[in-house]
Amino acid sequence: MKELPLSSTPSDAARAASAPAGWRGALLLDKYSVLILALVLLIAIPALTGAFRLGLFAKYLSFAFCAVGLVLTWGYGGILSLGQGIFFGLGSYMMAMYMKLEASSNDPAAAVFGGSGPPVPDFMTWNSIDKLPWWWAPFEHGWFALPAILIIPTIIAFVLGYANFRKRVGGVYFSIVTLALASIMSIVIIGQQGYTGGVNGITNLPTFMGYSIQSNTATLIMYYVTCVLLLCAVLAGRFILKSRLGKVLIAIRDREDRIRFSGYDPALFKGFIFAVAALFSAVGGAMFTLQVGFASPSVCGIVPSIEMVIYAAVGGRLSLVGAVYGTVIVGAAKSFLSENFVGFWVYFIGALFIFVPMFLPKGLAGIIDWLRNREQNRQDKNQGAVQ
C-alpha cells in the first residue's frame, strides 16, 4: 500500500488534519499497515483460533512469502513469474532432506549399508537404493542445510533470470519459461521416486534439530517463527522499494529502453529482484515443511505456482501487506468452503478468482486507494465551492 506524505508541505499537513474521517482512516492504514499486520498475526489470530486452526494459518502464511515476492517482481518489476513453486519446492525439499536424514539416524530400524555414513531413508530402501546419493549426504548437517535453503534457490533464480533478461526475454515469454520449468520440476520429482519419494514426497518428518514438531507447543512456536520471518520479508521488501534500487526497478518496468540508454543494466536489476523473490519463496517452502511434516511435488508444480500469483492479485499486486492478507483470505476461504460445501467449493473459489480481476483490479489494497481518492475528490470539490 502506498504511503502518502503527511508533512511534505504545510498545505499537505493542514489538508490531512482537516480531512474527512474516511480519508484519515485510509491515511492511518497506509502509514501503520505493517504494524497493524503484526498485531493481526501475532495477537489476534492466535487469540481467536485453536491449535489446529493455528496450524492452518501457519500454512497459509508460508505461501504468503511467495505472494510478497511476486509483489516485488510482478507489481514493481513487471516480471510475471508463473514458476515461484520451483523455489518454494526447493526450500521445502531441502528442509525435508535434512529432517529425513535426522529421522533416519534416530531410527534403529533404518538401513545402513557399507558400515558408515548416515542411514538410507526408507523410500530409498524400498526402491533398492543401498547408498545415499552424494547430493543428499551434506544435508545430514544443519550447518549446511539451513544456509543451502537460502543460497541455492537464490543463485539458481539469479542465473536463470539474468540469462533470460540478458537475452531480453520478458513479458509473456518469461512467464511461459517459468511455467515450463515448474512443470519439469514436478515431473522430475515424481519420476525419480527412489531419490525424491516420488508422488508421495518425503514423509515421516517428526523432528527438527532434535525437537518434536508434532506437539501443540511446537505448532505455536512455528507459527510465531513464520510470522516474524514474514514480517521481516515485508520490511525488507519495503526497504528495497524505498531505496534507489526500487526507483530504478519501477523505471525499468515503465520505460526499460530509457533506463538502458541511461547506462543501467536492466537485466542485472531484474535478475536481482527475481532472486530476492526466490529467496522469500524458499524460506516459505522450508517453513511449510516444518509445519506440515512432509514435502510433496504438489507444492512445486503449475497449479500452486498459479495460485501464488492469485494470492498477490487478490491482496493487490502493488501492496506487500495486501499480499499477506490476500493469501490468508484465499487460504481461509478454501478451507471453509471445502469443509461446508464439499461438492461445490471449487466453483466458489473459481468465481472469486474471476471476480477479483474484473471488479478489483488492484486487489484489496485498491479499496483503500479508492476510499482515499474519493474523500480527497470530495474535499477538493467542497473547497472549490467555498472559493
Element containing residue 173 per DSSP (H, E):
helix 171-191
Mean pLDDT, rounded, for 292-311: 91
DSSP secondary structure, 324-346, as one string:
HHHHHHHHHHHHHHHHH-TTTHH
**Domain for residue 42, yes or no?**
yes
* The pLDDT value given to residue 83: 93
Long-range contact pairs involving 264-272 (C-beta distance under 8 Å, separation at least 24)? 266/165, 267/162, 267/165, 267/166, 267/168, 268/162, 269/77, 269/245, 270/77, 270/79, 270/161, 270/162, 270/165, 270/170, 271/158, 271/161, 271/162, 271/165, 272/158, 272/245
* The pLDDT value given to residue 201: 92
HSE-CB for 149 with a 13 A CA cutoff:
28
CA–CA gap between residue 198 and residue 188 (Å, rounded) = 9
**Domain for residue 367, yes or no?**
no
Mean pLDDT, rounded, for 285-300: 93
- Residue 31 three-state SS: helix
Mean pLDDT, rounded, for 228-257: 94
State the sign of the Cα–Cα–Cα–Cα dihedral 156, 268, 319, 230.
Answer: positive
* The pLDDT value given to residue 114: 44
State the sign of the Cα–Cα–Cα–Cα dihedral 362, 366, 370, 372.
Answer: negative
Helix count and strand count (H, E) for the chain: 18, 2
Which residue from 165, 112, 169 is spatially nearest to 140, judged by alpha carbons?
112
State pTM to two decimals: 0.88
Residue 80's alpha-carbon distances to 154, 253, 273, 300, in angstroms, are: 17, 11, 12, 17
Higher pLDDT, 231 or 19: 231
Mean pLDDT, rounded, for 121-127: 89
Structural domains counted in the chain:
1
* The pLDDT value given to residue 380: 64
**Domain for residue 256, yes or no?**
yes
CA–CA gap between residue 36 and residue 231 (Å, rounded) = 11
**Domain for residue 43, yes or no?**
yes
Least reliable range by pLDDT among 1-15, 32-46, 123-137: 1-15
In terms of phi and psi (left: phi > 0; alpha: psi -120 to 50; beta: otherwise), the region of 50 is beta
All three cell numbers of 196? 525424491
**At 267, is the pLDDT very low, low, confident or very high (cuts 50, 70, 90)?**
very high
Q: Which domain holds residue 246?
A: 36-305
DSSP secondary structure, 192-245, as one string:
-HHHH-GGG-B----EETTEESSSHHHHHHHHHHHHHHHHHHHHHHHHHHHSHH
Mean pLDDT, rounded, for 358-373: 74
**Domain for residue 380, yes or no?**
no
Most confidently modeled of 114-128, 134-148, 362-376?
A: 134-148
Residue 86's alpha-carbon distances to 3, 40, 168, 188, in angstroms, are: 32, 29, 22, 12
**Domain for residue 355, yes or no?**
no
Q: pLDDT averaged over the chain?
A: 85
**Domain for residue 56, yes or no?**
yes
CA–CA gap between residue 324 and residue 66 (Å, rounded) = 9
**Residue 375: φ, ψ to 5°:** -65, -35
Residues 6+ apart with CB under 8 A from 138: 144, 145, 148
**At 2, is the pLDDT very low, low, confident or very high (cuts 50, 70, 90)?**
very low
**Domain for residue 358, yes or no?**
no
- Residue 62 three-state SS: helix
